[in-house]
Chain A
Amino acid sequence: MKRSNAPIFWSLFGAGGVLSALLAPVLVYITGVAVPTGAGMPPDALAYSRVLAFAQSLHGKAFLFAVIALFLWHAAHRIYHCLHDFGVHPGTATKVVLYGTAFAGSAAAAWLLLAIGL
């Protein structure tokens, strides 16, 4: 019997769901509201030297890769199944586009983190 690939996508969806439920609100607040407006955050909180040092550290790389990749896989899986509710039935084409985008985004994040170096 051919094994289903659903558990892989579901695991990535679930992991991304947990990570985004824990982190997305505070991350959006920090990068999108607090730092740009200066409300409750020093203006240099996300200064180039600081963020570069973070992206050069191994724990920083792991954090950034996990957030970007798992957020994308979570979204791709949920959008894929939600399209069905709008009458777009699940098929290979939508799967390739959505999971392909998540894969490309993950690969891009990994490549950039490698390019940034240690």
Chain B
Amino acid sequence: MTIKIAVIQFPGANCDLDAVHVLNDVIGVETSLVWHNHFKEANFDGVVLPGGFSFGDYLRAGIIAAHSPALDEARIMLKDGRPIIGICNGFQILVEAEFLPGALLQNEALRFVCKWVNIKVINNRTAFTHKMNKDDVLAIPIAHGEGRYYTDNLKELEENDQIVFKYSTEDGSFTSEANPNGSLENIAGICNIEQTCLGLMPHPERASESILSPKQTIHGRIFFESMIEFIKRRLT
């Protein structure tokens, strides 16, 4: 049994090669970079929608990519419970394609922000977080201009356990200083009700090698290791 992961290359994606590098060379899972028009779900066990500026973020971040045939393929995967992760622009695409609820608005400060932040694990039962502990605080970088999460249905999200990560201080408090973009309730990442599709603004692929981490942590790896483990269990 060989697990196969696809990283979708939308025009304008720019974290695509980074995700491929981490999955192939760090995690050691067979991963292909697939041009969005060429993507066929049948060949893959899981999919990564990488960060970047798909279609230049023209119109609105993620909305044009949300209409790519790749998302129709991904929808089939969503239905049968294969894991899907959208990172940064990938998150924006998942929201625009209505895989996930809510919206991502321009950062409160109206500026792009690139820095390392802390996120706290709220839900450790998803396909991408089941190897984490609830309330773990992870060090991970963000880099976005439109990452302020908003939803009208916060209650529903909470009831369905769809809030996966919240921005926090290093010791796990949800202060406004720890919130880098003004997201509602410090929300950094959410999942679908079935817990198989995760969208988040932070970049786990940038936090998977100690050489890149200010404190030599490799918390990003756990996302991908959870995903692989999830696929293995699914397949057996």
Interaction A to B:
no
Binding site for A on B (CB under 8 A): none
Q: Which residues of A contact B (CB under 8 A)?
A: none
